[in-house]
Amino acid sequence: MRAPDGGDGDLSCACKGIRRCLKCEKLKGKGQLESNEPKILHHFLYDPEMRLAIRKDAEAVSFPFPGVFLRENFISEEEEKKLISTMDQDVWIESQSGRRKQDFGPKVNFKKKKVRVGGFSGLPALSQELVLRMQQEPSLSGFQPVEQCNLDYHPQRGAAIDPHLDDSWLWGERLVTINMLSNTTLTMSLEQGLPELGLAGEVHVAVHLPRRSLVVLYGEARHRWKHAIHRDDVKERRVCSTYRELSAEFLPGGQQAEVGSQLLNISLSFQGTPI
């Protein structure tokens, strides 16, 4: 089992390409890894009650921000404690940008569009009750996850995840995350701006994620806006579990429906171990 506090003295890391963490910055130097090109940024804050992105500066500008659902206190303190204790009994594998991970899902080659069913044993037993609870949310009706990815962030490692869009060949409409151990901010970004609102340059919308909350990304927030966790928004150890469902291609009527059926049967047995 790897130390949950991330306090090892090994300078090796799993970062590749432009990815970085505090370990590799000690070796490569921070300046070599950052772009000095100035950007025009427009900062907004997401209001989950009104479902609006509200301008953070003095200008009274706001716009509807579709595709985000937030449920505070989705799990209790006792559940959180039990989940983290169980995760820490398994091995945390080094991942990029200072993260550590545990994967409960099929092996996938996204470039070649190939899925390997063998070796996949399903979601972990402790997730069965959580998935049933998710399905009670109107925005998660019929949600059947086939992957769970646990990620461990720690400020001592400079952990973060860069702006990205999740795959949409295998993974379906809804991305579901439970945020644990500390509050953080999910930053949604649109590099091309919003010309219809007169906003040239990059637009950022900060979505505050309270400890023990659940967040769902779908629609435009899933397919148009990139999402990230910035290093500065990881103040303490943070663990999250992200659940993904199948795309239409792997559901009944799709070209890969047979593979999808196999994945669902394995996943929802809730007998999984990390791969």
In the chain, alpha helices (H): 22-28, 77-87, 127-134, 219-223, 257-267
Number of domains in the chain: 1
Chain centroid, CA 33 distance in Å: 23
Distance CA(163)–CA(230), nearest Å, equals 9
Whether the CB-CB separation of 190 and 226 falls below 8 Å is answered with yes
Instruction: Tell whether 50 is covered by a domain.
Output: no
Distance CA(203)–CA(27), nearest Å, equals 32
Instruction: Tell whether 87 is covered by a domain.
Output: yes
Instruction: Tell whether 172 is covered by a domain.
Output: yes
Residue 1 has pLDDT above 80, yes or no: no
Instruction: Tell whether 16 is covered by a domain.
Output: no
Instruction: Tell whether 71 is covered by a domain.
Output: yes
Distance CA(74)–CA(130), nearest Å, equals 9
Residue 25 has a pLDDT of 76
Residue 50 has pLDDT above 90, yes or no: yes
Distance CA(40)–CA(18), nearest Å, equals 21
pLDDT in tens, 185-201: 999 999 999 998 888 88
**Is the pLDDT higher at 23 or at 250?**
250
Q: pLDDT band for position 24 (50/70/90)? A: confident
Q: What is the mean pLDDT of residues 132-161?
A: 97
b/e string for 72-81 if b means 16 or more Cβ within 10 A?
eebbeeebbe
Instruction: Tell whether 48 is covered by a domain.
Output: no
pLDDT in tens, 51-89: 999 987 656 689 999 999 999 999 999 999 999 999 999
Distance CA(153)–CA(240), nearest Å, equals 8
Q: pLDDT band for position 37 (50/70/90)? A: low
Residue 255 in tokens: 């070209």
The model carries a pTM of 0.90
Q: Which CATH number characterizes residue 162's domain?
A: 2.60.120.590
pLDDT in tens, 216-257: 999 999 999 999 999 999 999 999 999 999 999 999 999 999
Q: What is the DSSP-derived secondary structure letter of residue 157?
A: G
Instruction: Tell whether 167 is covered by a domain.
Output: yes
Domain that holds residue 124: 67-267
